[in-house]
Amino acid sequence: MSSALHPRGLALLNNARLNKGTAFTQEERRLYGLEGLLPTQVESLDRQVERIHRHLDAKDSNLDRYIYLSGLRDQNETLFYRVLMSNPARFVPIVYAPTLAAVCQQFSHIYRRPRGMYISLDMRGRIRDVLENWPARDVRFLCVTTGGRILGLGDIGVNGMGIPIGKLDLYTACGAVPPAVLLPVQLDIGTTNSALRADPLYLGLRREPPPAHELDGFVEEFVQAVQDIFPHVCLHFEDWKGTDAIRYLEKYRNRVLCYNDDIQGTAAVTLAGLISALEIKDEPLAAQRFLFLGAGSSGLGIADMLVSAMRQEGLSEQAAIERITLMDASGLLETSRTDLAPQQARFAKNMPATDSLPDVVDAVRPSVLIGVSTAGGAFTRPVLEAMARITERPILFALSLPETNAECTAEQAYEWSKGRALFAAGLQFPEVTLHGHSFYPGQANNFYIFPALGLAVYATRPKLMTDDVVIESARALAGQVGATARERGRLYPPQDDILDVCVTSAARIAEYIFDRGMATVDRPTDIRAWIEGLTYRPHYETCPPPAPAPEPGQAPGRFYAGFDSGSASGW
């Protein structure tokens, strides 16, 4: 789809991809019918960013800042991404976790304008036709959720749409993937949340989700329609109910280009932190004993990836599985239990039944304790003191979100281990000072992984996403933690450098994809320079020739029809 006509006047100012606001030059204002519609002063993009920073500083909460930034994105996409990329360490927590938890809880109440697509059960039999309503065809990443398991909040239905929107914002802000190729999608299958169904402002279907066989048919139609309409797309499954997340990843991972960030992305960023921690300990991954509190999709995803990574170090699959123990809300995954899914039963141990974490710690004697349980405070003082008795440098990952669900705080981890823990959490805890020493907790957050993976996939266009590619993303990330940083206990690179971190990871991932013959584009001579040349840079460009001025009595503008050009600049 393309057009020689470009919008004028208010239609141009209302087009987020093309709008420059006060940065339109005097000549552009004259040519595009903008005279009188803007204040007199012509500003640079940097001056506009300065104003936005001042506006944000005046807000009382990150939720207010999120709402403000959402409005900015609807008005001026270039300025929005320039702001985010000006200080990722500041803005990632606003447009992503932890603020997104509050956003999703109130999504229907703070809704302003549509973004992305909503595909509901009522559209069965015509999903392909509905997807054709999206004005772009060169969609490379489609982040899709059912809202079934959002940030420890459970099933929140279409209120979960904040997650795909936030995830894709970080594809651009952290990985410099052009926003024109991104599409957030909410599959509205109803919700088990009766309070939402009774809320008069709730924007989704007011019904229970369908049975599995009916949902399978709906998802199959959706996946096939996506392949037809967006043939180069990568499906990013996000925050589906745990059993659905595992089932659909297994169903589609060898059929279409897809991955599940809750399963594979969480696993990769955890593996990266473990690799860094083990560099500090000077020990191999295959020599560790792992205990998980949490055996849902995230826990199983991490466990499966650890098995694959230990196999790369020479262990058999069974030997790797034997080094991993999991617990869930019902207790230890052990062989007498009859309620285990096949993916869980794989890790069941021939041990006595128990729901006591301290008892399992004493029995298993793990060197690594990983929390993905959403059970806030579950890593108690006796548990962490036991970990410190078992191993000189216990590795403690409390990954549950939001903060109230974290299994322990950074301060607890360092204090109860007498400062010997190597610690990371799903959120960024502040620096801890203990007995005159400073400790730097890591943030095992997926934004270190999926934007880099996205940039590499955008560049190389592989047909499938294998676990080996995802493991390579973990190794690429861990490889960017320098010796000095490791000496200070840091497990991840600084967030201030997230764009360079992601580009560096993407170059290594792309090289891996080329080396294994998975790419469908020609290999460049300099992969890093090639990747950098494909990245999105938020800046204003010279306007193209304007549309003719309207005749008397005609509407004052035309909407831009070239939305699917794929141009990073938007023009």
- The owner of tokens 């792309």 is 510
Residue 1 lies in a domain: no
Domain boundary among 411, 445, 479: 445
Q: Edge-to-edge, what's the strand order for the sheet holding 331-332?
A: 331-332, 324-328, 290-293, 368-371, 395-398, 422-425, 442-443
What is the residue-wise DSSP string for 169-211? Answer: HHHHHHH---GGGEEEEEEE---S-HHHHH-TT--S--SPPPP
Which residues are tagged catalytic?
Answer: 96, 167
Q: Which amino acid is at 100?
A: L
Torsion angle, CA of 189/194/200/206, rounded to 10 degrees?
A: 30
User: What CATH number does the domain containing 427 carry?
Assistant: 3.40.50.720
Residue 533 lies in a domain: no
118 and 170 both lie in a single domain: yes
- The reported pLDDT for the residue numbered 552 is 58
Secondary structure of 444-492 in the HEC alphabet? CCHHHCHHHHHHHHHHHCCCCCCHHHHHHHHHHHHCCCCHHHHHCCCCC
CA dist 264 and 454 (Å) reads 13
H-run or E-run covering 369 = strand 368-371
**Positive or negative, the Cα torsion across 166, 167, 168, 171?**
positive
Residue 493 lies in a domain: no
Is 390 within 8 Å of 420 (Cβ atoms)? no
Domain boundary among 445, 480, 500: 445
> What pLDDT digit, counting tens, does each position of 289-300 carry?
999 999 998 999
What is the residue-wise DSSP string for 482-523? Answer: -HHHHHTT--S--GGGHHHHHHHHHHHHHHHHHHTT--SSPP
48 and 111 both lie in a single domain: no
Name the stretches of the chain with pLDDT < 50. Answer: 1-4, 556-571
Length of the chain: 571
SS3 397: strand
124 and 62 both lie in a single domain: no
Is 527 within 8 Å of 507 (Cβ atoms)? yes
82 and 121 both lie in a single domain: no
pTM of the model: 0.90
CA dist 532 and 488 (Å) reads 31
User: What CATH number does the domain containing 155 carry?
Assistant: 3.40.50.10380
CA dist 498 and 262 (Å) reads 20
SS3 438: strand
Secondary structure of 277-318 in the HEC alphabet? HHHHHCCCHHHCCEEEECCCHHHHHHHHHHHHHHHHCCCCHH
**Tokens in use for 480?**
């960017």
HSE at residue 455, side-chain half, CA atoms within 13 A, is 35
> What pLDDT digit, counting tens, does each position of 361-394 carry?
999 999 999 999 999 999 999 999 999 999 999 9
CA dist 333 and 354 (Å) reads 9
- The reported pLDDT for the residue numbered 548 is 61
The boundaries of the domain holding residue 192 are 96-256
Is 110 within 8 Å of 165 (Cβ atoms)? no
**Tokens in use for 19?**
């709008």
398 and 284 both lie in a single domain: yes
Preceding peptide of 284 cis, ω within 30°: no
278 and 424 both lie in a single domain: yes
Is 127 within 8 Å of 221 (Cβ atoms)? yes
**Tokens in use for 276?**
């860094």
- The reported pLDDT for the residue numbered 149 is 83
77 and 101 both lie in a single domain: no
399 and 271 both lie in a single domain: yes
CA dist 26 and 47 (Å) reads 17
Residue 195 lies in a domain: yes
373 and 347 both lie in a single domain: yes
CA dist 424 and 409 (Å) reads 9
**Tokens in use for 266?**
């969480």
H-run or E-run covering 91 = helix 88-95
Residue 550 lies in a domain: yes
Residue 451 lies in a domain: no
Residue 450 lies in a domain: no
Is 161 within 8 Å of 145 (Cβ atoms)? yes
315 and 245 both lie in a single domain: no
**Tokens in use for 51?**
């104003």
Provide the CA 355 distance to its chain's centre, in angstroms. Answer: 32
Domain boundary among 412, 445, 478: 445
User: What CATH number does the domain containing 45 carry?
Assistant: 1.20.1370.30
CA dist 283 and 161 (Å) reads 42
Distances (CA, A) of 111 to 66, 70, 103, 214: 12, 10, 10, 29
- The reported pLDDT for the residue numbered 241 is 87
Q: How many domains does the chain have?
A: 3
53 and 77 both lie in a single domain: yes
Residue 465 lies in a domain: no
SS3 371: strand
413 and 297 both lie in a single domain: yes
For 136, other C-beta atoms within 10 Å of its C-beta total 18
For residue 442, give the nearest of 414, 410, 468, 479 by alpha carbon: 410
- The reported pLDDT for the residue numbered 435 is 86
- The reported pLDDT for the residue numbered 571 is 34
For 444, other C-beta atoms within 10 Å of its C-beta total 26
